[in-house]
C-alpha cells in the first residue's frame, strides 16, 4: 500500500510540468562567435533570400553560435542562429543558403510567436492527467495514478511534437519558394538533407526502428522525398553559385575550423603542403590558438603577400601581433584593415584595443574616436565597450567610463554588475543628455532583473 504524501506529490507535479516546459523551449545559444568576414558573408548570401521572404534585410540578423552540433534555429525575433558545427559540416555556400531559407520560413511564418498554439493543447492534456493521477493517488491507487500521469505526459508530448513537425514542414515549403524566387538553386538544400540523413543513421543504433512521431522534425529522408520534385522543378535548379561567393565560403569555413577545432585536427585537414588560401587561413588560426606565434605570423604574412590590401587578412595579422604582446606593431595593419573595410566596427574595436595596449597617451585620442565609431555602428560588442571604458577612465571622464562599464555588463547578461555603474553614470552625467538617458534605461532594466532574481530565490 502507498501512503499519500501531499508534499511529495506536489514536487512530482512540478517536475513533470517543468520537464514539458523545457522540452518546448527552443535551444539556447552557448556562445556567440563574432567575426567581421563571416558576418559580411552571411549578409551577402542571405540578403536575396530575406527579400524573397518579404522581410527587410536590415532587420534580419544571421548569428554564429559556437556549438559543434549540426543545427540552426530561430528563437523569436528576426534572428537566424547557425551553429559552427553546421558551417564546418557544409560542403558549399549553397547548402548554407538552403538552411537559411528554411529558417526564414520559420520567421516569416511567425512560428516562434505561435509556439503557444502547440503548447496550450499539450499543457491542457498534461494538467488534466495530473489532476486525474493525483485523485487516483489520493484514493490509494499510487501505481494507477503514476500510470495516468505518465500516459498523459506522453500524449501531451506527442501532441506538441506533431505541431512542431507541421511547423518544420511548413518552413521547408516556404524555403523552397524563397530559393525559387531568389533564383538560387535548391540543390544545396537537398544535399544537406542527405547529409543530415547520414548523421541520423550514424547516431541511431537502429535507424529503421526510430519512431518518426517521436521527433521534433520530419525524418530527413521524408523531407528529401517531399521536396525533391518541387526543388527540381524550379527554373533555378541548375543555377551555379558565383565562384567568388564559393571562394569566400571556403575561406570562412577554413578560418572557423582553425578557430573552433583542436589545432592537431585542423593541421591534419589542412596540412602545410596545402598552400591554398583556405588552408593557409586555417593554419594561421590553428597556430595562433596553439600559441605558436612565429608560425601563425608566417601564415598571416603569406596571406597578406597573396592579397596585400585584403582587410580580413590584415585584421588577422594585427590580431596575431596584438595578442602576441606586440600592440604597436599591430597598429599599421589594423589601421589599413579599418580603412579598407569602411570602418567595420569589429575591426575598429580591435584597433582601439591595440592603441590602448601601447599605454602611450599619444594614441588615446585616436583610440577614443575609433571606439566611439565602433559602438555607434555596433553597440552589441562587449569588448568595444570595455576598451572605451578604459580610455574614458584614463582621460578622467569617470561618468562615461561608468556608462561604458554598465553597457558591457548589460550586454553579457550580468544586471547585478551593470546596476552600480549605471546609477553612478546617471548621477554624474548631464541630466537629459543622451548618455544620461541611456544610463537611466540600463539602471531601470538592471534593477528590475535583480529584483526578479531575488524573488525567484
User: Please, what's the b/e burial string for 261-287 (b: 16 or more CB within 10 A of its CB; e: otherwise)?
Assistant: bebeebbebbeeeeeebbbbbbbbbbb
pLDDT computed for residue 141 by the predictor? 57
Last residue of a domain, one of 166, 199, 233: 233
Q: pLDDT tens, 222-231? A: 666 678 888 9
Looking at 37, 39, 103, 323, which residue is catalytic? 103
* pLDDT band at residue 351 under the 50/70/90 scheme: very high
Side-chain-facing half-sphere of 35: CA atoms under 13 Å? 22
Task: Assess whether 103 carries a catalytic annotation.
Answer: yes
Position 246 in a domain: no
In a domain, 437, yes or no: yes
* Percent over 70 (pLDDT), the chain: 74
d(CA 134, CA 116) in angstroms, rounded, equals 26
Distance, C-alpha 164 to centroid of its chain: 21
Query: Model confidence over 380-397: pLDDT tens digits?
Result: 999 999 999 999 999 999
What's the pLDDT at 82?
Answer: 94
pLDDT at 229: 86
The domain boundary residue, chosen from 233, 263, 295: 233
Segment holding 62, helix H or strand E: strand 61-65
Q: Is residue 17 situated within a structural domain?
A: yes
In Å, how far are 18, 152, 160, 183 from 128, measured between CA atoms? 15, 8, 16, 50
pTM of the model: 0.79
Q: Which residues contact 78 (CB under 8 A, 6 or more apart)?
A: 55, 59, 60, 61, 107
| Mean pLDDT value of segment 37-48 | 97
> What's the structural domain count of the chain?
2
Q: Is residue 281 part of a domain?
A: no
Question: Cα 235 from chain centroid?
Answer: 32
Which residue, of 179, 204, 233, is where some domain finishes?
Answer: 233
Look at residue 14 and tell me if it is in a domain. Answer: yes
Is 80 exceeded by the pLDDT of residue 34? yes
* Mean pLDDT, rounded, of the chain: 83
* pLDDT for residue 214 is more than 90: no
The predicted structure's pLDDT at residue 217: 46
CA 119 vs CA 58, 79, 111, 156, 171: distances in Å:
31, 22, 12, 9, 19
Q: Are 106 and 167 in contact (CB under 8 A)?
A: yes
Domain annotation covers residue 252? no
User: Residue 173 domain-assigned?
Assistant: yes
Asked whether residue 441 is assigned to any structural domain, the reply reads yes
The residue segments making up the domain with residue 433 are: 397-457
pLDDT category of residue 106 using cuts at 50, 70 and 90: confident
CA distance 371 to 362: 16
Tell me how far apart the alpha carbons of residues 227 and 186 are, in angstroms, rounded to a whole number. 9
pLDDT in tens, 45-82: 999 999 999 999 999 999 999 999 988 888 878 999 99
pLDDT of residue 302: 98
Amino acid at each position: 500500500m502507498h501512503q499519500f504524501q501531499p508534499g511529495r506529490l506536489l514536487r512530482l507535479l512540478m517536475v513533470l510540468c517543468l520537464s514539458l516546459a523545457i522540452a518546448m523551449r527552443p535551444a539556447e545559444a552557448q556562445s556567440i562567435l563574432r567575426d567581421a568576414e563571416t558576418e559580411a558573408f552571411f549578409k551577402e548570401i542571405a540578403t536575396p533570400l530575406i527579400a524573397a521572404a518579404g522581410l527587410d534585410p536590415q532587420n534580419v540578423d544571421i548569428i554564429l553560435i559556437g556549438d559543434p552540433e549540426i543545427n540552426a534555429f530561430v528563437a523569436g525575433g528576426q534572428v537566424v542562429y547557425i551553429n559552427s558545427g553546421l558551417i564546418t559540416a557544409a560542403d558549399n555556400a549553397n547548402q548554407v543558403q538552403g538552411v537559411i531559407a528554411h529558417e526564414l520560413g520559420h520567421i516569416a511564418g511567425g512560428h516562434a510567436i505561435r509556439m503557444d498554439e502547440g503548447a496550450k493543447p499539450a499543457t491542457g492534456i498534461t494538467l488534466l492527467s495530473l489532476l486525474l493521477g493525483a485523485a487516483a493517488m489520493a484514493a490509494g491507487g499510487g501505481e494507477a495514478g503514476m500510470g495516468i500521469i505518465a500516459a498523459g505526459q506522453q500524449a501531451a508530448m506527442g501532441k506538441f511534437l506533431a505541431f512542431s513537425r507541421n511547423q518544420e514542414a511548413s518552413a521547408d515549403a516556404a524555403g523552397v519558394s524563397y530559393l525559387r524566387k531568389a533564383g538560387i538553386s535548391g540543390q544545396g538544400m537537398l544535399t544537406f538533407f542527405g547529409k543530415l540523413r547520414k548523421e541520423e543513421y550514424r547516431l541511431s543504433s537502429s535507424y529503421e526502428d526510430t519512431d518518426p512521431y517521436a521527433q521534433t522534425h520530419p525524418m530527413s529522408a521524408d523531407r528529401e522525398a517531399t521536396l525533391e520534385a518541387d526543388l527540381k522543378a524550379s527554373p533555378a535548379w541548375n543555377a551555379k553559385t558565383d565562384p567568388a561567393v564559393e571562394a569566400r565560403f571556403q575561406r570562412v569555413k577554413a578560418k572557423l575550423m582553425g578557430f573552433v577545432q583542436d589545432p592537431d585536427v585542423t593541421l591534419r585537414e589542412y596540412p602545410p603542403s596545402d598552400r591554398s588560401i583556405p588552408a593557409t587561413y586555417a593554419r594561421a588560426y590553428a597556430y595562433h590558438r596553439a600559441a605558436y606565434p612565429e608560425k601563425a605570423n608566417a601564415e598571416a604574412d603569406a596571406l597578406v603577400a597573396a592579397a596585400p590590401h585584403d582587410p580580413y587578412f590584415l585584421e588577422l595579422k594585427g590580431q596575431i601581433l596584438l595578442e602576441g604582446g606586440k600592440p604597436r606593431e599591430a597598429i599599421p595593419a589594423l589601421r589599413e584593415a579599418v580603412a579598407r573595410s569602411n570602418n567595420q566596427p569589429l575591426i575598429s574595436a580591435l584597433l582601439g584595443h591595440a592603441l590602448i595596449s601601447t599605454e602611450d597617451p599619444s594614441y588615446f585620442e585616436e583610440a577614443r574616436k575609433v571606439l566611439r565609431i565602433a559602438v555607434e555602428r555596433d553597440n552589441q560588442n562587449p569588448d568595444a565597450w570595455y576598451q572605451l571604458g578604459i580610455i574614458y577612465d584614463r582621460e578622467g571622464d569617470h561618468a562615461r567610463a561608468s556608462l561604458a562599464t554598465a553597457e558591457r555588463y548589460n550586454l553579457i547578461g550580468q544586471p547585478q554588475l551593470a546596476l552600480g555603474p549605471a546609477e553612478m553614470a546617471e548621477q554624474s552625467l548631464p541630466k537629459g543628455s543622451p548618455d544620461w538617458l541611456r544610463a537611466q534605461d540600463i539602471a531601470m532594466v538592471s534593477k528590475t532583473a535583480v529584483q526578479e532574481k531575488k524573488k525567484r530565490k
